[in-house]
Chain A
Amino acid sequence: MSYSLSLVGPYLDIAIVFALVLALAPSIGSFMGRVFMNRPTVGEGVFGPIERAIYRLLGVNPRHSMRVREYAVAFLLSNAVLILWIFFLLMFQNRFPWGATPGISPMAWDLALHSASSFSTNTDFVHFVTESQVTQGGLLLGLQVAMFLSAGAGLAILAAFIRGFVRKDGTIGNYFVDITRCVVRILTPLSILGAVVLVFLGLPETFATSATVHTLLGSTQSIPLGPVASWQSIMLIGSNGGGIFGANSAHPFENPSALSNLFEIGLMMVVPFSSPFAFASAVRRKGEALPFLGTILIVFFTAVALVIIGQIATNPDLSPIAALSQGSAYPVGQETRFTLPEGALFQTVSVYANVGANNMAIGALSPIGQMAMLFGMFTQSTPGGVGTGMGYLLTNALIAIFVGGLMVGRTPEYLGKKIGRQQIGWAASLLLVHPVLIFTPLVATLMGGFVPPLPTAVGASAHTFTSILYEFTSEAANNGSGMGSVYVNDATLWFNVVGAVVMLIGRFFPMIAMLMISHYFSVQSPLPPGPGTLKTQSFTFTIYLTLFLIILTALLFLPALALGPLTQIGGG
């Protein structure tokens, strides 16, 4: 093990990554805010013509602003087109360009459905092994396109959501303009930049699908290759997470060194951690980023700490001597090329920012670590996925502000917009849809016997249970992180179809809800802030929002955690 004995070293480098991301977040965020609100940005001369060409190609009038119905229809229809395209592409992947990868056959319909839904919903939960089941064409023409468009759609919905706070004419923007601007100005430049750096850090970037090498033993071995750097870049920046290799970011080609590990952590964090600033810049209230950033940081750091503590804490199933010799109480599945804090930070960022890339095996994490991971997927908003995470946080904040606003004796309002029955109704529907999407398929899976009977030993049983819970939680949250389990094969018809449904509802219902909230705000004239208005830019509100989020999440999901990770502890 290269587990560093120095305590400062591994913590220092992750601290530096954090400091860098947080230092850049205000400027990147304000840039994103300008993109959201259709204000001119740096590089107008480059981006402008590209966007105008795209508008001409799509036949879009960029000056037309849509009301909610039109916006939602545009959003849903274009996503339907994307899903169908990937579905057919994967089903007939050998007939498309770059389809002649040896040993790869067309995908079964259910796996194609799951994969199409997974990548189009920014989930990137994979039920396939990329190297052996997807052609180069499937990757580049389908999945990678979806990685850009799904991340772009997330940002577009956030932009439309935010507009409700600013507008009063009942329109919330133009979906095609939003997604075009977000892809052209935010995702593309960032991912090009990321890919170039990753190439320098040693990631392959080639159209060759494999390299044949002669091993020391004299036999030949085929090592899969591909445009890894560019894939990895958008996979991390766009909170996608589906690796070009099955081993994901523990694969030496996806993540070759400690330095690339740190850089990839930064790539995952950049958009989600800048989003509070993007929101603040979009609504032109600088300080408004702080309560959200504060909430994200408190929950996130607690999770990182829990993962690390969980790994170090005594494992009752492992003898102290064995644990000592392994450097961690849960040594299995930890990538030995990275130190524990480096691995833990990568994994926590990956799950909390809804990326779902792996460099640790979550199934082998301590139960406490698994609990921390699940919690991040339950909140979906600390910081959550690209665009959607901030959307969830805003939605949760609206509920918190509603209750808090009552507590200060005023009809609750945020940014001068009154939080009425409709906004609360749609926001609260998200409290409902997440548990439904997790518990229903979980119960149905166990009841219908779609998994082998749980092991008799309680610990092993709870571990298997946790992995099924994790699967549906990840799909409902459009996270994409998988726990894997030796007992459960999720590449089955049942898991493919149910998973697809869970991902689609988990993605589109909340987004429509956010658009509806935006709509109900957009028809209101903003009130000027008065001295009696609840000030959200305050320490008290930040703590309140954090506790509100934690308690509400705990109320809805503590039973699930009790049956899963908690039962694993000392379960034998």
Chain B
Amino acid sequence: MATGRTSPSADVRADSRISLAYVLAESIRGFDPRREIRHPVMFTVYVLFLFILVVMLDPGLFPDLTVGYDKIYYLGTAVLLFATLWFANLSEGIAEAQGRAQAESLRQIRGGLRARRLDPAGTESAVPVETLRIGDVFVVPQGETIPMDGDVVHGAAQIDESMLTGESQTVLRESGGDRTSVLGGSRVAEGEIQVRVSALQGQSFLDRLIRLVESTTREKTPNEIALNVLLSALSLALFIVVLGLVYLCQLTGYAAIDVATASSLLVSLLPTTIGGLLPAIGISGINRVAEANVIAKSGKAVEAAGDLDVLILDKTGTITTGNRLAVQLVPAPEVEMGDLLTAALVGSSLDDTPEGRSIVRLAARRSAQSVRLEPGSFRVVPFSAERRMSGIVLADGTEIYKGSVSAIQDYAGELPPTLANAATEGARQGMTVLVIARSKRTLGLVYLKDVVKPGIKERLAELRRMGIRTVMCTGDNRLTAATIAKEAGVDDFIAEARPEAKLLLINREKAQGRLVAMTGDGTNDAPALARADVGLAMNSGTSAAKEAGNMVDLDSDPTKLIQVVSIGKQLLITRGALTTFSITNDVAKYFAIIPVLFATAGGGFVGVRALNVLGLSSPHLAVLATVLFNALMIPTLIPLALRGVPFRPRSAIDLLRQNLLLYGIGGLASAFVGIKAVYIVLEWLGRIPAWQSLLSALAHFLPGGFL
């Protein structure tokens, strides 16, 4: 959670304690062949396991393959192959259970809601939520839960979204403007609103959220598919190699490899570690995004976040706090200071923005006279993106406008040179410059200072280390933008941006093949959000924005994108690291198994036996130790798969070196040590009388096959 104001009890994660029963049930359901076949590597293990079972039923079926049939050895092999499969299923079950727990707590919010539908005549009737249609209007009085996603069409209210977002502070939602959207499941804390339904039952935000974290509809992402292709080809090649080894040993007469040993060798060599954990890695990626209070509409979006090249950030609200404060007034030549002060005061007295209020405060401090506006004697002209200025029109027709230099120049013509210089100078010093004009005559400037959010510089530097270029988007003029850009440390900026600027920038970057992300909340951001590879919409924004983006941040914190990028990268790194681990882990398995295959052969074989660097003596024990070690790697690495490989932003080549040392060399070395350790334990176990009698009892129970 990014914000410190969160009350933990209202968190989505509060009920995320996973149910053990569910995990166990899920891990057993995983043995359904229709589910196993989706994971090619594990499916191979599955087939081998079934084959061993068949052989155990009647070893006489394949006399050539079961020379020296040993019940306990085959039983051990079957148990270990089963364990390999089960561990893999378990990892997937745990990841799914985490998601399910989140989904469950979300479902409870909605349980059995009824809506007060308002029919066109204006009468209110209580109907089940399921009957609501898009366009229907319903009323939510104070204290009630909003039954369905929608837009406020009448009224205003403080909404408590804590059950969805964990955010305990209420948010204002009102009709008109950009703050109309409300979420089904949130509660009206204060006020009463009429809401028009914007999504159908089953398609609401809450529903999508539930579906997503439940992961039942999870599609494999492109990288995951490519990795699966690679692992499948590698598995098939290893299958051919082991099959070849079995036949060639027999044909040359050097050694006889029975089917249990061959299966164990193959299973140990197959990339079961990555193959078994791959589904869990994908699911946990989405879970981790959800834990950050971001809802990703697809796993693909999360993966894309790891790939981003360019991040488009709004200056206001993301990089700066958005509260620009007036610090100085500069009159134009031949304009009295008092005149400017009065105009500033009148022009901003009804401007409720922090900027407007700060101008009033400044002007009031400097000016002796006070201004009183009679109700009805004026008309307020609000700021619009097209005009880029705001102001007031008095009863006598006097217009007072303030806006950016370029906007006022469009309105009142070129600035006088001294004023233009002052504007340039102010902007250079990192200030926002507003120009005040009265009835098409420029009166002077107001300097406003923008405050860069604390900590933003560090986060942007982090992004640069990840290789992501940041572009700041602002309506300010070039110089103002340049100063803020420098102060915050963004790589590039777009000044005097019109609403379509983001879309143009995204199109330009995408045409060059870059992956672009942006954050946005307004309806005018929607086209750009939809076009961006990662569009993170703010929960506080309009429905249109949330609909267009492929992620929604429930905390409405634009810097959350950085966290999402990290999670996306972690997802890929975890896959890569475990693949490397799986491959280098294999080397030791050859050294453990191949020499002992020749242990019973006669003289000679000096060279092959020299491979026995682990000093294993019992062939059966060596094979079982190897396949047990291989199986144990899966549960050992489940926490890593679920949490993701720790990721700190640094250069790609440093990351490669670090992960190669950790997972490549680590995989290589750990297998030698691990197999030897497991072998020693099995050997020690074999010397315990109780274990011996258990085995002999088992051997008695299995008289030469079950049949």
Q: Do these two chains interact?
A: yes
B652 touches A535 (CB 8 A): yes
**Which residue in chain B gives the minimum CB-CB distance to A416?**
B513
B656 contact from A402, A525, A541, Cβ within 8 A? A541
B652 touches A425 (CB 8 A): no
**Which residue in chain B gives the minimum CB-CB distance to A568?**
B607
B241 touches A407 (CB 8 A): no
Contact residues, B343-359 vs A (CB, 8 A) = none
A551 touches B583 (CB 8 A): yes
A458 touches B251 (CB 8 A): no
Q: A424 an interface residue at 8 Å Cβ cutoff?
A: yes
A570 touches B247 (CB 8 A): no
Task: Given A458-B605, A567-B608, check contact A552 B583 (CB 8 Å).
Answer: yes
CA distance A554 to B241 in the complex (A): 11
A250 to chain B, nearest CB (A): 28
Q: B603 an interface residue at 8 Å Cβ cutoff?
A: yes
A406 touches B514 (CB 8 A): no
CA distance A406 to B227 in the complex (A): 10
B236 touches A532 (CB 8 A): no
Task: Given A406-B572, A431-B234, check contact A411 B594 (CB 8 Å).
Answer: no
A424 touches B607 (CB 8 A): no
CA distance A410 to B579 in the complex (A): 15
Of the candidate stretches B185-193, B218-226, B319-327, the one touching chain A is: B218-226
Contact residues, A532-546 vs B (CB, 8 A) = 532-535, 538, 540-541, 544
Contact residues, B607-638 vs A (CB, 8 A) = 607-608, 610-611
CA distance A410 to B651 in the complex (A): 12
CA distance A560 to B608 in the complex (A): 11
Residue in A439, A556, A562 whose Cβ sees the most chain B Cβ within 10 Å: A562
Q: How many residues of B contact A (CB 8 A)?
A: 75
Which residues of chain A have C-beta atoms less than 8 A from B202's C-beta?
A: none
Q: A555 an interface residue at 8 Å Cβ cutoff?
A: yes
Q: B569 an interface residue at 8 Å Cβ cutoff?
A: yes
B226 touches A435 (CB 8 A): no
A525 to chain B, nearest CB (A): 5
B306 touches A410 (CB 8 A): yes
Q: B606 an interface residue at 8 Å Cβ cutoff?
A: yes
**Which residue in chain A gives the minimum CB-CB distance to B597?**
A562
CA distance A411 to B515 in the complex (A): 11
B222 contact from A411, A442, A566, Cβ within 8 A? A411
CA distance A316 to B607 in the complex (A): 11
Q: B317 an interface residue at 8 Å Cβ cutoff?
A: no
Q: A404 an interface residue at 8 Å Cβ cutoff?
A: yes
A572 touches B603 (CB 8 A): yes
Of the candidate stretches B451-459, B463-471, B498-506, the one touching chain A is: B463-471
B248 contact from A442, A554, A570, Cβ within 8 A? A442
B569 touches A409 (CB 8 A): yes
B269 touches A555 (CB 8 A): yes
Q: A173 an interface residue at 8 Å Cβ cutoff?
A: no
Of the candidate stretches B26-34, B397-405, B657-665, the one touching chain A is: B657-665
Q: A399 an interface residue at 8 Å Cβ cutoff?
A: yes
A407 contact from B230, B573, B587, Cβ within 8 A? B573
Which residues of chain B have C-beta atoms less than 8 A from A540's C-beta?
A: 653, 656-657, 660
CA distance A459 to B603 in the complex (A): 10
Contact residues, A434-481 vs B (CB, 8 A) = 435-436, 438-440, 442-443, 446-447, 454, 458-459, 461-462, 465
Which residues of chain A have C-beta atoms less than 8 A from B653's C-beta?
A: 408, 534-535, 538, 540-541
CA distance A527 to B243 in the complex (A): 43
Task: Given A408-B652, A532-B468, check contact A432 B248 (CB 8 Å).
Answer: no
Contact residues, A461-504 vs B (CB, 8 A) = 461-462, 465
A527 touches B514 (CB 8 A): yes
Which residues of chain B have C-beta atoms less than 8 A from A562's C-beta?
A: 594, 608, 611
CA distance A533 to B607 in the complex (A): 44
B655 contact from A409, A525, A565, Cβ within 8 A? A409
CA distance A356 to B584 in the complex (A): 32
CA distance A566 to B225 in the complex (A): 38
B237 touches A556 (CB 8 A): yes
Q: B689 an interface residue at 8 Å Cβ cutoff?
A: no
Which residues of chain B have C-beta atoms less than 8 A from A568's C-beta?
A: 607
CA distance A96 to B657 in the complex (A): 62
Which residues of chain B have C-beta atoms less than 8 A from A571's C-beta?
A: 604-607
Q: B337 an interface residue at 8 Å Cβ cutoff?
A: no
CA distance A475 to B303 in the complex (A): 43
Q: B51 an interface residue at 8 Å Cβ cutoff?
A: no
Which residues of chain A have C-beta atoms less than 8 A from B66's C-beta?
A: none
CA distance A547 to B660 in the complex (A): 11
Q: B214 an interface residue at 8 Å Cβ cutoff?
A: no
B241 touches A533 (CB 8 A): no
Q: A531 an interface residue at 8 Å Cβ cutoff?
A: yes
Which residues of chain A have C-beta atoms less than 8 A from B514's C-beta?
A: 527-528, 530
A567 touches B254 (CB 8 A): yes
**Which residue in chain B gives the minimum CB-CB distance to A447?**
B251
B7 to chain A, nearest CB (A): 33
Q: A64 an interface residue at 8 Å Cβ cutoff?
A: no
Q: A523 an interface residue at 8 Å Cβ cutoff?
A: no
**Which residue in chain A gives the minimum CB-CB distance to B255?**
A563
Q: A197 an interface residue at 8 Å Cβ cutoff?
A: no
B248 touches A443 (CB 8 A): yes
Q: A421 an interface residue at 8 Å Cβ cutoff?
A: yes
A409 touches B606 (CB 8 A): no
Contact residues, B562-579 vs A (CB, 8 A) = 568-570, 572-573, 575-577, 579
Q: B309 an interface residue at 8 Å Cβ cutoff?
A: yes
A425 touches B303 (CB 8 A): no
Contact residues, B508-545 vs A (CB, 8 A) = 512-514
Q: A569 an interface residue at 8 Å Cβ cutoff?
A: yes
Which residues of chain A have C-beta atoms less than 8 A from B240's C-beta?
A: 432, 435-436, 439
A408 touches B656 (CB 8 A): yes
CA distance A554 to B254 in the complex (A): 21
CA distance A316 to B243 in the complex (A): 32
Q: B54 an interface residue at 8 Å Cβ cutoff?
A: no
B27 to chain A, nearest CB (A): 27
Q: A405 an interface residue at 8 Å Cβ cutoff?
A: yes
A407 touches B577 (CB 8 A): yes
B579 touches A567 (CB 8 A): no
Q: B61 an interface residue at 8 Å Cβ cutoff?
A: no
**Which residue in chain A gives the minimum CB-CB distance to B310?**
A530
Q: A182 an interface residue at 8 Å Cβ cutoff?
A: no
Residue in B238, B513, B603 whose Cβ sees the most chain A Cβ within 10 Å: B513
A567 touches B607 (CB 8 A): yes
A409 touches B587 (CB 8 A): no
**Which residue in chain A gives the minimum CB-CB distance to B571?**
A409
B194 to chain A, nearest CB (A): 46
CA distance A535 to B307 in the complex (A): 15
B466 touches A532 (CB 8 A): yes
Q: A61 an interface residue at 8 Å Cβ cutoff?
A: no
Q: A45 an interface residue at 8 Å Cβ cutoff?
A: no
B668 to chain A, nearest CB (A): 8
A432 to chain B, nearest CB (A): 5
Q: A210 an interface residue at 8 Å Cβ cutoff?
A: no
A50 to chain B, nearest CB (A): 40
CA distance A481 to B648 in the complex (A): 50
A–B pairs, 22, beta carbons within 8 Å = A316-B606, A403-B580, A404-B576, A406-B227, A409-B576, A421-B225, A424-B230, A432-B240, A435-B244, A526-B513, A534-B653, A544-B656, A551-B587, A554-B590, A555-B583, A559-B244, A559-B248, A560-B244, A562-B608, A569-B610, A570-B605, A572-B603
Q: Using CB atoms and an 8 Å cutoff, list the residues of chain B in contact with chain A.
A: 222-223, 225-227, 229-230, 232-234, 236-238, 240-245, 247-249, 251-254, 269, 303, 306-307, 309, 464, 466-469, 512-514, 568-570, 572-573, 575-577, 579-580, 583-584, 586-587, 590, 594, 602-608, 610-611, 647, 651-653, 655-657, 659-660, 663-664
Give the top 6 A-B pairs by smallest Cβ distance, nearest first. A532-B467, A570-B606, A406-B576, A569-B607, A409-B569, A428-B233
Q: A405-B572, A428-B230, A458-B603 are in contact. List 19 more A-B contacts (CB 8 A).
A: A404-B660, A406-B575, A407-B663, A408-B659, A409-B306, A411-B223, A420-B226, A425-B233, A431-B233, A435-B240, A435-B241, A462-B254, A525-B513, A528-B513, A531-B651, A541-B656, A552-B583, A556-B238, A567-B254
